[in-house]
Structure 1
C-alpha cells in the first residue's frame, strides 16, 4: 500500500493565525487538491493528521469541523481526489496529550489503523512540529514552503533527511516520479 500523511492547514488549505473556524474560511491552496487527486489516481491512500486545538479553545465545535472537512472532501472529489481518513488532535497546547504534534500519537494511530509500519511513509507538513512527529515514527518528512513553511525553514533544526519543496504539488511530482 502506498500511503502519504498530510498536515491540513498550510499544506492543503490556507492557514490562519486566527484559526480556520468555519467552512467559509477553509480555502484550498492553489494546486493542492489537484495534487491529492493525482495521488488518488495513482492508487495512493491519502491521510490527514491535524492538530485542531480550536476545538479545545471553544472556537468551533465538532459539527463545524465536520462541515469544514465535508467542504474539503467535496472540493477534492470535484477534481477526482479522495482523502481516506482524517486523524485529529482536539486538545489544546497545555493538555499534555500524546496526540498533539510534535508528539507522535496521531501517526501511531494511523499506523495502527492501517496495520503498517510508517517507516519511509512520506509525511508533508509546514511546521517543525509536523516534521518532528512524523520523524519520530520513521516517516520520511517533507517540508513545504506554503503556510508556515518558509518561517520553519529559516529557523532550521529540521529532522535529518527532510525533503523541502515549494508546495504539495512539487512533493507529489517527486513521489510519482519515483514510483
Structure 2
C-alpha cells in the first residue's frame, strides 16, 4: 500500500478561532468576526478543486455560560458570510471537565464531519493553530497541520509532524505542492 493514491485528500477541516478568523475569546458578537489573512482565497481554491471544507470548533464558553449556542450560531453564520459556505460544521459546546468525546483533542468531531461528508478520516485533514487540533486529527486517523500564531506554544510547534506558516502553505503541504 505504498502508493500515495491510497488516501486522496477529499476534505479539509479547519479550526475556527485563530485559524480561519482572528481569535476573540468566547466571541458571541458577529460584528467582531475578522477573517485571517488569506483564508478566503484558500477556501475558494479548495472549493474550486472540489474538496469539501468544514469547521471543527471547541466552544466551551457555552458550557461556562459565557455565550449561548445561538451566539455561536450567529458568529458561525457571519464566518460563512465572509468566507463562503462550508460543507460541514461541528461545534463542541462542552467544557474540559465534561469528559465528552467531541472536544478536541478527542476525535469525535472529526469522525462526525467525515461521516456527514461520506468519507474516511484518512481522506481528511484538519488545520489548526494549537496542539489539540492536530491531536484530534491524528486520533481520528486524519492528517493534522499546525499553523502557529503568536499564542501557539513552542513545544506544540516542536511536537507537530506538519507545520506551515500560513493556510495557503498548509493546503500546499496537503496537496503535495511546494
TM tier, shorter chain?
A: 0.7 to 0.9
Alignment counterpart, residue 136 of structure 1, candidates 129, 136, 139: 139
Q: Residue 176 of structure 1: CA displacement?
A: 4.6
Alignment counterpart, residue 87 of structure 1, candidates 87, 90, 110: 90
For residues 61-118 of structure 1, give each alpha carbon's deviation from its aligned partner in whole angstroms, at most 9, with x where no partner exists. 12211111111111123xxxx3111101001111111101111111121222223211
Which residue of structure 2 lines up, in the alignment, with residue 12 of structure 1?
Answer: 20
Q: Is the 1:6–1:48 contact (alpha carbons within 8 Å) kept by the matching residues of 2?
A: yes
Q: Is the 1:22–1:60 contact (alpha carbons within 8 Å) kept by the matching residues of 2?
A: no
Q: Determine if the alignment matches structure 1 residue 3 to structure 2 residue 11.
A: yes
Distance between the aligned counterparts of 1:147 and 1:104, measured in 2?
A: 25
Aligned residues: 169
Alpha-carbon spacing, 1:2–1:120, altered in 2? closer, same or farther (3 Å): closer
Give 5+ residue unaligned stretches, structure 2: 1-8
Distance between the aligned counterparts of 2:150 and 2:71, measured in 1?
A: 22
Give 5+ residue unaligned stretches, structure 1: none
Distance between the aligned counterparts of 1:95 and 1:10, measured in 2?
A: 23
Alpha-carbon spacing, 1:112–1:147, altered in 2? closer, same or farther (3 Å): farther
Which residue of structure 1 lines up, in the alignment, with residue 159 of structure 2?
Answer: 158
Distance between the aligned counterparts of 1:146 and 1:66, measured in 2?
A: 25
Distance between the aligned counterparts of 1:106 and 1:175, measured in 2?
A: 20
Distance between the aligned counterparts of 2:42 and 2:98, measured in 1?
A: 34
Q: Determine if the alignment matches structure 1 residue 119 to structure 2 residue 127.
A: no
Distance between the aligned counterparts of 1:116 and 1:147, measured in 2?
A: 33
Root-mean-square deviation over aligned CA pairs? 1.9
Compute the TM-score of the two structures, normalised by the length of structure 2.
0.85
Compute the TM-score of the two structures, normalised by the length of structure 1.
0.85
For residues 9-47 of structure 1, give each alpha carbon's deviation from its aligned partner in whole angstroms, at most 9, with x where no partner exists. 11101113x322211222111111221111111111001
